[in-house]
Amino acid sequence: MVFEFLLKSKEKKASYKKLIAKLHEDMVKIPGGSYLMGSNDGEDDECPIHNVLVNSFYLGKYEITQQQWIEIMETQPWKDLEYVREGYNYPAVNVSWYDVKYFIRKLNRISGELFRLPTEAEWEYACRAGSNSKYPHGPLKMGLSNYAWFYDNAFKKIERYAHEVGTRKPNKWELFDMSGNVYEWCSDWYSRNYYNKCPVNNPKGPLYGKYKVLRGGDWARTEHFLRAASRRYNSPHYKDVDVGFRLAIDMEKVKKQNTID
């Protein structure tokens, strides 16, 4: 029994090592810079447009997958739910903000890293990828199906589920599924009027609130909800088949540990 325990422990450590290496491999370096956050022709909580400065950071190329979630959490919160496809490369869904925070806490304890959720400002900055366009590929809806799973090419086609990550084209910074597929949790508390008093340098949202921010749209939403400036919010306890997340990590914290570069 001791031998079996040691063998399983060794196998688990090897599995963790492989998982962490994959997460590092799939991190994209997002260069620091400034951009115009928000929109004056969308919803009320998207305005006013305001200038934001964001430090360099790393962001996951893909949404966290079911395989990665199972490896860390040993649970399957999406199991046997309607409107879910199961498989290693499908995004982990039906996870609340608190579930995600627990996942990150366990992952950091195992890896010694300091992974986190992106802030809302970081998320929109990375989604825009140096552009002020409405969508990842440009200002018009035409061509959006090449970059995103959404109402037109998923829900309307009776493919009513989140699709495997990375199966559409990436944006200019090689990030996949920033529009569509699943909504993604951000670290921020939500405030409808936050943009009126948002700091310029690395805004992190209000200090407290009732709801957490979600970004990106999903496989059932129309193009209006896939705009880079579009905001959604819900209780941190909320979970659904169209909600997932991706990881971020601070540039300087990575450098200290020499884990990616």
Go through the domains of the chain in sequence order and give each one's CATH number.
2-257 (3.90.1580.10)
**pLDDT tens digits along 229-242:** 999 999 999 999 99
- Whether 94 shows a pLDDT value over 60: the answer reads yes
The tokens 């290496």 sit on which residue? 21
**pLDDT tens digits along 192-206:** 999 999 999 999 999
Give backbone dihedrals phi and psi of 24, rounded to 5 degrees, phi first.
Answer: -65, -45
Region for 77 from its dihedrals, namely left if φ exceeds 0, alpha if ψ lies in -120 to 50, beta otherwise: alpha
- Whether 114 shows a pLDDT value over 50: the answer reads yes
In the β-sheet with 248-250, what is the strand arrangement from edge to edge? 27-30, 57-60, 248-250
List, in sequence order, every beta strand (DSSP E) within 38-112. 50-54, 57-60
Q: What percentage of the chain exceeds 70 in pLDDT?
A: 93
